[in-house]
Structure 1
Amino acid sequence: MSDGSPAGDSGGSRAGDLGGFLAVDSGGSGLRVAVGTAGGGGGGPDGLGRRASREPVRTGSRGIDPGHLMAQLLPMVRSLTAETGVTAFGTAVVGAAGLATLGDALRAELPGALARELGVRTVALAADAVTAYVGAIGPRAGAVVAAGTGLVATGTDLTSWRRADGWGHLLGDCGGGAWIGRAGLEAALRAHDGRPGGSAALLARVTERFGPVAGLPGRLYPRTDRPAVLASFAPDVAACAADDPVAADVLRAAARHMADSAAAVCPPGGRPAVAVTGGLLRMGDALVVPLEEELAKRLPQARRTAAEGDPLHGAVRIATDLTTGAFSLPCDDRMLGVTAVPGGR
């Protein structure tokens, strides 16, 4: 791994010899890939071409599985090279959910694998929180909440990164899609049992989506994609919120958790930019209205701004900045590291 300094002289100049880039977003709901060229019209938010897989990269005893990531990535990249004509990649940027805490194997093995298979010369490995941040507000001081299947807040004053939550669906990700879905399922099961705090409306939705609730543990617990399955119920919670106070309370609690995380990472002083990004916002006013209220309470000094793009856009922006020598973000071993890889073509 690098010492934390930008690629600049060691990798950035060599990457410029190969203007093609590869940008990857690996999250709880799957893998998305973009390729492009920094100087040939492919540096926009979508690159020159994109592919996606709905299969999340596996996490095992070694953390994020680099072999499984490469097994999914290579067929998509080969398809994209045929489509776009981009066949040489000076730079690859991989934004991965869980990198900060589960990324040791990825950091140890992925740069070499990308060099061997694709000839990549410079590899940036970033927490998906970092790519979400850059996609949302670019390289400026502020805080970004990335709210999808999981939830993580990231802030920077452009000298270091701060991170809150992102601990996964068993230990945190409070307010994220899996958290909302799990809370909704719990409320449904309370209604099934006749315990206080239950929701008959959510129970009906659970039965419709998953079948009889008696079989729910057997259908859920053995699955390796539990976060995505839990998050799939979050839209049902939002759909019930207008008429069901229990569902509305779940979303208000989610909004408080999101605002708490944003406040924990936002740089003090001035008027930092604050944005929220991620698929959770598609749930609409049932979540967005209480979220705006909570952010106004917790961060009255901040400038609320609409997110410009998503984590894949952030990976594309980092890749183009590395390729053109404009990279200026702080690096560290957990959140964002840049490596010049020996043996790249």
Structure 2
Amino acid sequence: MNMTIEAHTSNLVALGKFLGQFQIDGVQRHPDFSELDELTNEIHEKIDGSIHRNGWFTRENIVFSLQQWSEALKFENIEKWIGRYDLSNSGGKKIGIVMAGNIPLVGFHDFISTIICDHKVQIKQSSSDELLLPLIARFLIEQNSEYKNRIEFTKGKLENFDAVIATGSDNTARYFEYYFKGKPNIVRKNRNSIAILTGNESKEELEALSEDIFLYYGLGCRNVSKLYVPEGYDFDQFFKAMYSWNPIINENKYANNYDYNKAVYLMSEYKILDNGFLMLKEDESFGSPIATVFYQTYKDEDNLKEVLESNSEKLQCIVRKDPKPNEVAFGKTQQPELWDYADNIDTIEFLSKL
């Protein structure tokens, strides 16, 4: 049985309101969902369960993710996102989704894209992040029982699917490409985000950049892991703007990574800049270890533009003051719009043409 885009949109808008209930200091219950108290309580418990399951997940990070999705799933956002596509012939296929687990609900966009394109979905979650999405799916089933036949979670391998979306490391991507080569697929690999500084950034802009660096401990592909700075750049202002994040060094897993990476750099006699909770290391790579941000200097914008264009397949976000089209403002990397696609691959275009 087909469901209309209007029905899916209405259910996703309700889901956005529902997710907005989950706050740092507890649950702020919405009167529309009073009959769903049991589900609300279960999600609240599973937030704690996710923290015990995955040492990198904190209540702040999980709630930040839920609030971001609550904001994104507003009617005007969904309408703007979907309005540019012809979905009249979309639907009826089964889409397999292999999800990563580096940050909370990292595969959620693929999930809602499949739903709104009127397909069925079979989901293989990462063991690092498998507690919340089944409960969120249950909310949709409460809204419309038709979703019960459309949403399936599997612990084993994906089966009987028509197309697949898989996200993993560069190594697992090679396996995915081989394993799924007989079906239409999107296979996502490692990507990183960079920020371009000129030295003319305000204190507020650099403080916003600190969120791009530290949110989710820097584990997401949208986290800034590398800076490009002009020759002779003075890092004092940068480090001052990072300072509000200094309590992060009290988090065990982060501190262990900081200590380990610092020891490696010092034993290898690498030159690093260090403020006690973040290290800067000059390096050509894009992906830096936890508690480290790589940097390189540039002479002129044209030369830098060439470097970035030749590495575009490795980059998720380019962050700077006064961003150009397809670039991101400071502090906004972890607040993507529904139409900001991972790896710049248009998921809705892919799903609607199957």
Normalised to the residue count of structure 1, the TM-score between the two structures is 0.31
Normalised to the residue count of structure 2, the TM-score between the two structures is 0.31
